[in-house]
Amino acid sequence: MSNLLLGQTTPHPEQYSPEILYPIARNTKRPPFGFDVWTAYEISWLTPTGIPQTAMLQLIIPSNSPHIIESKSLKLYFNSFNMTVIQSEQDFVETVKKDVSKALNTECEIRLYLPKEWKNLAPTEVQGVCIDLENLNNQPLSCDDSYVTETLYSRAFRSRCPVTNQPDWATIVIQYTGKKLNRSHLLSHLVSYRNHPGFHEDCIETIFWALLERCQPESLSISGFFTRRGGIDINPQRATYPTTPDTYRDFRQ
């Protein structure tokens, strides 16, 4: 962790630099299923005739990968393409997939979106019940005996980057089947992260395990849709069952 680029003044590479990607080992205790969906909004390279190309990109990483990528190193890696000639869009996608998969030590998926496709990426409203008007009650997570299937969400979540101490904001979406969660206790639990130092992935996994162990739902899925920093947002998704990556975008993203 002492070699992290995050929080340090670093030179910006002017040409393609795959060696700058910095992997970080994941926690050993991980939920059984899930993905990390990274959305990069500042993607650009040069055509063989020198014309800049602009795009958005989604990087989809299985949560069982042994590593994640340090976010600043990924930003610098993407920036290294800005003055680099790439033969085609497909060459760009294949290059990124090869480099990131190598750093992760697992296969990742790359989705490239050109400007003509951006209209299909418009933010949408979360479908579910917002718990942000519940009263805070500093009691442990709890549930009652009624059995439900529901989606709850909160836009009140904030944590802190463990390296820079900068605030990280997110919309948290919880889908579950089981005994009904006490919404006041749930909101209090999420608000308790307000000064918690943790990477996005670790925060979502900690919340996942707390709900699973205390309330024992039949099924559980938790997603964190974090606002972007450095032109990239990170969206960890964890579940008790096989799922597909959710590419939903929150209005704040």
- Tell me how far apart the alpha carbons of residues 232 and 253 are, in angstroms, rounded to a whole number: 9
Element at 207 (helix H, strand E): helix 200-215
Instruction: Return the structure tokens found at 116.
Output: 């003509």
Question: Annotated catalytic, 168?
Answer: yes
Residue 51's nearest CA partner among 7, 82, 19 is: 82
51-63 burial by CB neighbour count: b if 16+ within 10 A, else e?
A: eebebbbbbbbeb
8 A C-beta contact, residue 245 and residue 237: yes
Cα–Cα distances in angstroms (integers) from residue 130 to residues 6, 126, 153, 155, 169, in the given order: 33, 9, 5, 8, 16
Strand-pair partners of 172 = 154, 224
- Tell me how far apart the alpha carbons of residues 149 and 103 are, in angstroms, rounded to a whole number: 38
From 36, 99, 168, 250, active-site residue: 168
Residue type, 48: P
Report, as residue numbers or ranges, the catalytic residues: 161, 168
